[in-house]
Structure formats: C-alpha cells, structure tokens
Amino acid sequence: MDIKDLLALKEKELAARKPICIRCCTAAGCLSSRGEAVKERLERAVYDAGLGDQVEVRGVGCLRLCCQGPLVQVDPENLLYEKVTPEEAGSIVDALNGEKVMLSRVDPDNPFFTKQQSIVLANSGVVDPNRIESYVAADGYQALHQALHEMTPKLVVEEMLTSGLRGRGGAGYPTGLKWATVQKAAGAKKYVICNADEGDPGAFMDRSVLESDPHSVLEGMAIGAYAVGADQGYIYVRAEYPLAIARLQTAINQARRLGLMGSAIFESPFHFNVDLRIGAGAFVCGEETALMASVEGKRGTPRPRPPFPAESGLWNCPTLINNVETFANVAAILRRGGAWFAGIGTERSKGTKVFALAGKIKNTGLIEVPMGTPLRVIVEEMGGGAPDGALIKAVQTGGPSGGCIPAEHLDTPVDYDSLNKLGSIMGSGGMIVMDDSTRMVDVARFFMEFCMDESCGKCIPCRAGTVQIHDLLAKVLAGMATARDLVQLEELCDLVKNTSLCGLGQTAPNPVLSTLRFFRREYEELLLPDPFAVRPTVPEGQVSVEIR
C-alpha cells in the first residue's frame, strides 16, 4: 500500500457515507446496559422504514457520559439520546421523519461536553473501532506515512521533544527524552511496548481508548518503533478487559491485511509487528520492569533500575515503553506539529489529559481537558457536583499511588507539578469524587489493603510494611489506637516510601499520608485517650512527670 491507495481508501469510505448517521455507543459501559441490543433494533428499524440508503447505523466507541448509557447520537442534527432501551430504540428512527417522540436527550451545551478538548479521544465515538476503513477516513495512518517518507527518525524524536508531551502513565517523564535515549542505545534488536495494564482501581481511560480507537495506539506504536529503530512491539493488556483485547486483535489483523503492519510498510524498508500479551491480574505488572518480566512469561516482579528499560529492557534489549494514552497522542502530534501541541496546556505540562470521572458525582464518564484546568471546573461544572445535594469532600487522583485532595484545594490546576505539591499524583487519570458520607480513614485502609494484596513480595519494606500499616489503620478504625499508633503510622509510611524497590511500595503510603495531612481530625476522633499522656487536670505551673 502507498499513500495513493490510502487516500483512495479514505475517499471510498467518505463517498459511501449516508446523509444521516446514527452513532451507537458500543464501549463496555453502554454494552453492559444492553447497548448491543439497541444497535440491532436501530438497524432493524432503519431497514423496516426503508431508509437503508439514507441512514447509517454505526457502532462507535465511548460517547463519554457513561452514567446515562446506552447513548445514541444522531448526526447531522447533533442529538444525543440517553438511557435508550432496545424497546424505544425504534422511535429514534421515527423521530428522523419528524414524528414527535418522548425520548430523553442530553443537552449538548452541558459543560460536561463543552469544556472538553479532544486529541486522544478525537476519534472516540466517531469511528467504528471494528473497521480500519473508518479510522483511515479520519486521516488515520497518514502520520505514519509522513514519518516514514518525509522524516528521519531523528526528526520524529525532535518533533516529540518540541511537543513537550510527558508520559501519561502517571510519572510524567518527557516522552521525547525517552525516545531519544532508546534511539541512541546500542543494540541490533529493540522493542516497543505499550503498557495497557491499567490496574488503578477507578481508572478506565486506557480501556476506553483501546475499545474506541485501537488503531491510533497501533499507529503511535509504529511511529515510535520507526523513531527508535525497533521492529517488534507488544501490547500488554489486562485480562479483565476482554472487549479491548478483541478489538485490538481485530485492529492488528486488519492493519496486517492492508499492509500497514508487517514488512515494507508504505513501501519503505521499515517493518514492524505487534503482538498482544494478556496480563493475568497482577497490579504490580503496571510497573515497567515487572511488566517486561511478565511479557517474558515470568512472575511479574520488578527489578532495580538502572539499568533503565531504555538501555536494557525486554530480553536485555533497549526497550521503549509508553502508556496507551501517550501513544494515542503521537499521530496527532506528527499530523499537526509539535508546536501546536505545545500551545495547549501549561508551561510544564503540555497537551490534554483524559480523566475517568467516577464516584459520588452526577456525571460520571470520560473527559479530556487541557492540562491546567482547575479541579473545580472538572468536578463542579463538568461533573455537576455530588448527587442529592451532598457536599464534595475530596477528590482522589492517582489510585492507590495517589492522594486525596480536599475540597478547599479544588482550585488547584490539574497538572503534574501542582498535584505533586499536594502530595497526590496525576496518575493514569482516575478521578474518584467523595462526598461527606465517605470516611477518609476507611478510604486509606481500602487502598492499603489493595497494596498489601498486590505487593509482589520481593522487597521487605513493601511486603511487611504494607501489612503493618494496614493493621494500624484497622486498629484506628476499630477505635483501639492511641496517639502513639499515629506516630508509628507516620514513621512506617516514611520508611516504606523511602526504602521500597519499585513504584508500588514507594507510593503505597501516599493515600495514608495525604489523608493524615488533610483529614487528621478524622483520625484523631477515633483515637483512645493515651494512658501515658500528660493529664490535662494538672494545673499549669506545677511539675508534671511524663512517662515515656
């Protein structure tokens, strides 16, 4: 295939478009609310009404507002129907003929939609994830052609450096720098890995990207492989995401069939293959060295760094490892230029970030906002605040590695550095809203239980420390702890944070530390009076003996 064939395919797909398009969400959230049946009914209704040459029913990826699913969007009128049942799906087609129907619609001027800016999710809800032609029609694979024929690998890396893109997996390492290191690393064989082991509870962005637009990730990986000189890629996906796995496999097969993956891509000397690796339920495998051990078919235990994967990774070869969302940004950056991307966001955090908004909030779903958007805009305007008039108490970001940001800090802009200052992290993008009925000590215990279970057991601080911290938190919750236990809790957190081998242990105390910092009162209210403390009855001025 060359560029002419690609453009011809695009033209053919566009020419086949019908005047009216009914887009039906077939991402995991809507599917579990009978989205597939809705789509079938729509197809049948269109056929029955004899509108087959006028109306296209397209299964698309996530339409964002997951709590109101199944969602159906009708173009060009721009109507978004919510909570569509298979029984009433037919009336959407009736409405096309001007009939009055009683169907609930989402207001398109809702800030949930208007405040979004889409780069990663630009194709989500637009293209059919099961058809490569649909992606090609949205200018897909043109960036890969541009890289292969108009740019040297060095130029591609420079473009990434200009863009200022930072890793979207959570740590925020500059992507361009990582690419440059792998490019310079010596070695005949190099690998590219896409980290799709989205283990943070409460995060579903990567899942949605993979389910809605798998080709953008494949294209990003191919461009990355060209830039660093790799010819083999792996996508490590969680086994908990069967739909994402199926759509990725379909996408890979289709790309191979069209010659967009395999040997001599776009009639250039570049060849590249991608294989799927299915995780088996271990949170620690989101850590890059553990993930690579798992790809090699071993127990997913991390190893010390350096050497970093960029120098010695998979099978000791230089390896480029990036998150799903990072790769999904790449094609857009090449198509529109690094400078364009750098114009979005804040000084040190460029571009947009996808968040999964969930918890005690009215509008749950997927949002993509420019970096630097204040938390208040996300939670109160876009999310619509807590349901039933409850007060928002805190926002949890970064999953078990992050922290809880209290309501008084809601004006914090969302970028890597501001969140770090508050003792939380950007993380992969899970955002859980908690209202005043949530007990923060219980939340800290919940996350510590998670880390305790998921610790791989290789290093002692994490293996034993998480258990001890969890037991201390349970003691506090049971009302059996004293002030001394709190002191010990803080010491232990400090120890685990500073002496653990990998990111799991190093960040495990974060939820405890951040709740201790902002919600210390809740801990203290649960404490027993310390039998050894200075008795408050001792009048001032008298000598009191404190027994320690």
Partner 1 sequence: MLTCTSNSKRKAVVAVLEHASGDKRFKILETHMKRHQHKADALIEVLHKAQELFGFLDDGLMLFVAHHLKLPPSRVYGVATFYHFFTLKPKGAHTCVVCLGTACYVKGADQVLRAIEARAGIKAGDTTADKQFSLVTARCIGACGIAPAVVYDGTVTPRQTPEGALERVKGWCSHGH
What residues make contact with partner 1 under the rule CB under 8 A? 28-29, 31-33, 66-67, 69, 198-204, 207, 239-241, 277-283, 294-300, 356, 358-360, 364-366, 396, 399, 430, 432, 434, 438, 443, 446-447, 450, 454, 456
- Report the residue number, 19 or 242, with the smaller CB distance to partner 1: 242
Which among 292, 535, 526, 517 has a CA at the least distance from the CA of 424? Answer: 517
Q: How far is the CB of 207 from partner 1 (least distance, A)?
A: 4
- Report the residue number, 45 or 444, with the smaller CB distance to partner 1: 444
- DSSP notation for 127-153: S-TT-HHHHHHTTTTHHHHHHHHH--H
Report the alpha-carbon angle 287-293-298, nearest 5: 130
Q: Name residue, tokens 């086994």.
A: 239
Q: How far is the CB of 405 from partner 1 (least distance, A)?
A: 14
Which among 395, 358, 388, 389 has a CA at the least distance from the CA of 515? Answer: 395
Which among 392, 203, 342 has a CA at the least distance from the CA of 382? Answer: 392
Q: How far is the CB of 356 from partner 1 (least distance, A)?
A: 6
- DSSP notation for 436-476: TT--HHHHHHHHHHHHHHH--SSSHHHHHHHHHHHHHHHHH
Q: How far is the CB of 288 from partner 1 (least distance, A)?
A: 17
Give the contacts of 539 (CB within 8 A, at least 6 positions apart).
none
- Report the residue number, 372 or 385, with the smaller CB distance to partner 1: 385
According to DSSP, the residues that pair with 80 across neighbouring strands are: 73, 106
Q: What are phi and psi of 241, to 5 degrees?
A: -110, 65
Q: What are phi and psi of 43, to 5 degrees?
A: -60, -45
Q: How far is the CB of 203 from partner 1 (least distance, A)?
A: 7
Which two structure tokens, joined as six digits, stand for 438? Answer: 């949530």
- Report the residue number, 214 or 351, with the smaller CB distance to partner 1: 214
List C-alpha distances in Å: 337 to 140, 179, 281, 402.
Answer: 16, 17, 38, 32
- DSSP notation for 262-322: BSSGGGSS--BEEEEEE--S-GGGGSHHHHHHHHTTS------SSSPTTTS-GGGS-EEEE
Task: Return the H-helix or E-strand segment holding 237.
Answer: strand 232-237
Which among 357, 435, 397 has a CA at the least distance from the CA of 111? Answer: 357
Q: How far is the CB of 235 from partner 1 (least distance, A)?
A: 13
Which two structure tokens, joined as six digits, stand for 85? Answer: 């049942």
Q: How far is the CB of 34 from partner 1 (least distance, A)?
A: 10
Q: How many CB atoms are closer than 10 A to CB 499?
A: 14
Q: How far is the CB of 5 from partner 1 (least distance, A)?
A: 31
Q: How far is the CB of 276 from partner 1 (least distance, A)?
A: 9
Q: How far is the CB of 132 from partner 1 (least distance, A)?
A: 24
Confirm if 110 and 104 have CB atoms less than 8 A apart.
no
- Report the residue number, 167 or 199, with the smaller CB distance to partner 1: 199
- Report the residue number, 199 or 220, with the smaller CB distance to partner 1: 199
Q: Give the span between the Cα atoms of 311 and 313, in whole angstroms.
A: 6
- Report the residue number, 203 or 218, with the smaller CB distance to partner 1: 203
Q: How far is the CB of 493 from partner 1 (least distance, A)?
A: 20
- Report the residue number, 351 or 511, with the smaller CB distance to partner 1: 511
Q: How far is the CB of 452 from partner 1 (least distance, A)?
A: 12
Q: Give the span between the Cα atoms of 368 and 316, in whole angstroms.
A: 36
- Report the residue number, 35 or 164, with the smaller CB distance to partner 1: 35
Confirm if 451 and 511 have CB atoms less than 8 A apart.
no
Q: Give the span between the Cα atoms of 32 and 102, in whole angstroms.
A: 23
- Report the residue number, 278 or 526, with the smaller CB distance to partner 1: 278
Q: Name residue, tokens 């293209």.
A: 127
Q: Are strands 392-397 and 403-406 parallel, antiparallel or unpaired?
A: antiparallel
Q: Give the span between the Cα atoms of 50 and 46, in whole angstroms.
A: 6
Q: How far is the CB of 13 from partner 1 (least distance, A)?
A: 30
- Report the residue number, 110 or 268, with the smaller CB distance to partner 1: 110
- Report the residue number, 319 or 396, with the smaller CB distance to partner 1: 396
Which two structure tokens, joined as six digits, stand for 345? Answer: 């966001």
- Report the residue number, 66 or 144, with the smaller CB distance to partner 1: 66
Q: Is 57 left (phi over 0), alpha (psi -120 to 50) or beta?
A: beta
